[in-house]
Amino acid sequence: MRTKAAAYPYIAWGMLFIAIPLGLIIYFSFTDSAGALTFDNIIRVGKYSNVVVKSVWLSAVSTVICLALGYPIAYYMSRASAMTSRTLLLLIMLPMWMNFLLRTYGWMSILENSGLINQFFGLLGLGPFHLINTQGAVVLGMVYNYIPFMILPLHSVMLKIGNDVIEAAQDLGASPRHVLTDVVIPLSLPGIKTGVILVFVPSVSTFVISQMLGGGGNQLIGDIIELQFLGNAYNPNLGSAISFVLMLIVLLLMSVTGFIGDDLEENLI
């Protein structure tokens, strides 16, 4: 049929600009600067294992915090009136329209030694507390930037849980706690999965948040990749190898959560 041909320009485009570039990452990972096959790059990633572990750990902590903070909000929104729900949704989305570098910069102003929090404590004669350039600050930046990505999928899944289902559970004798653990949480599982992915993936690969809020001492995977491509350490082969490892981590997480599958599309939109 002729209609299918409408997709051909995109298919060609995708081959050229999606498939080939990813192929290049793999190619560069396994070659040296002269183009010869080597495993040196992958082996050298091992040197950065502490960075990898730290990235995964901080992102995991951020993801759990996002889930804990975001879940009640998503649930509240899904049970509120359409009007309230829409307004809240808008309020949560709105900050995303301000450049995230600036929002993160805003946190620098709040957290730094002479920043707003310490100014406040200073008035009380306390502090200054060392807040910026800590792991805590990095986690805060991740939670702040990515929590909407947790709330949105949770909200859209919870909207589909009918009040009748909850009422049926209550009718059958479920206490509020059991309504939550036996009905709401199992039914919102797909939203939890999506939210976890959408928070974890950008967190584990960030280099901006770690640089702005973590100072020099909290390098993450993203930082060392950036360093290989745009930093002084220019080494695209090593950079590709680290990127390759990062891709594997993301892929592993997705297959563990069963995110990749038939309902991938549903999960994304």
Partner 1 sequence: MRMKKLSGTYLGVFLAFLYAPIMILILFSFNESKGRTFTGFTTRWYSQLFSDAAVLDALWTTLVVAFVASIVATIMGTAAAIGLNKMEGRSKTLIMNMTYLPIINPEIIVGVSFMLLFVVAKNLLSSVGIPFGFGWITLIIAHITFNVPYVILSVLPKLRQMDGSLVDAAMDLGCNHWQAFTKVVIHEIKPGIITGFLMALTFSVDDFVVSYFTTGAKHQTLSVLIYSMTKKRISPEINAISTILFVFVLVVLIVVNIMERKTLEKQKKAREYQLREGGI
Residues 35-74 that bind partner 1 (CB under 8 A): 69, 72-73
- 195 contacts 212 by C-beta, under 8 angstroms: no
Residue 173 interacts with partner 1 (CB under 8 A): yes or no: no
Residues linked to residue 132 through DSSP beta bridges, in sequence order? none
SS3 62: helix
43, 168, 230, 233: which one binds partner 1 (CB under 8 A): 230
Residues 9-28 that bind partner 1 (CB under 8 A): 9-11, 13-14, 17-22, 24-25, 28
| Distance of alpha carbon 135 from alpha carbon 112, whole angstroms | 14
| Distance of alpha carbon 175 from alpha carbon 265, whole angstroms | 35
Q: Among 151, 252, 240, 161, which Cα is nearest to 199's?
A: 151
Residue 8 interacts with partner 1 (CB under 8 A): yes or no: yes
Residue 179 interacts with partner 1 (CB under 8 A): yes or no: no
Q: What is the smallest separation between the CB atom of 260 and partner 1, expressed in angstroms?
A: 8
Residue 226 interacts with partner 1 (CB under 8 A): yes or no: yes
Residues 98-137 that bind partner 1 (CB under 8 A): 98-110, 112, 114-116, 119
Residue 253 neighbours by CB distance under 10 Å: 19
| Distance of alpha carbon 47 from alpha carbon 126, whole angstroms | 41
157, 219, 222, 227: which one binds partner 1 (CB under 8 A): 222
Q: What is the smallest separation between the CB atom of 147 and partner 1, expressed in angstroms?
A: 8
- 142 contacts 208 by C-beta, under 8 angstroms: no
Q: What is the smallest separation between the CB atom of 47 and partner 1, expressed in angstroms?
A: 19
Number of residues that bind partner 1 (CB under 8 A): 80
Rounded CA Rg of the chain = 22
Q: What is the smallest separation between the CB atom of 140 and partner 1, expressed in angstroms?
A: 9
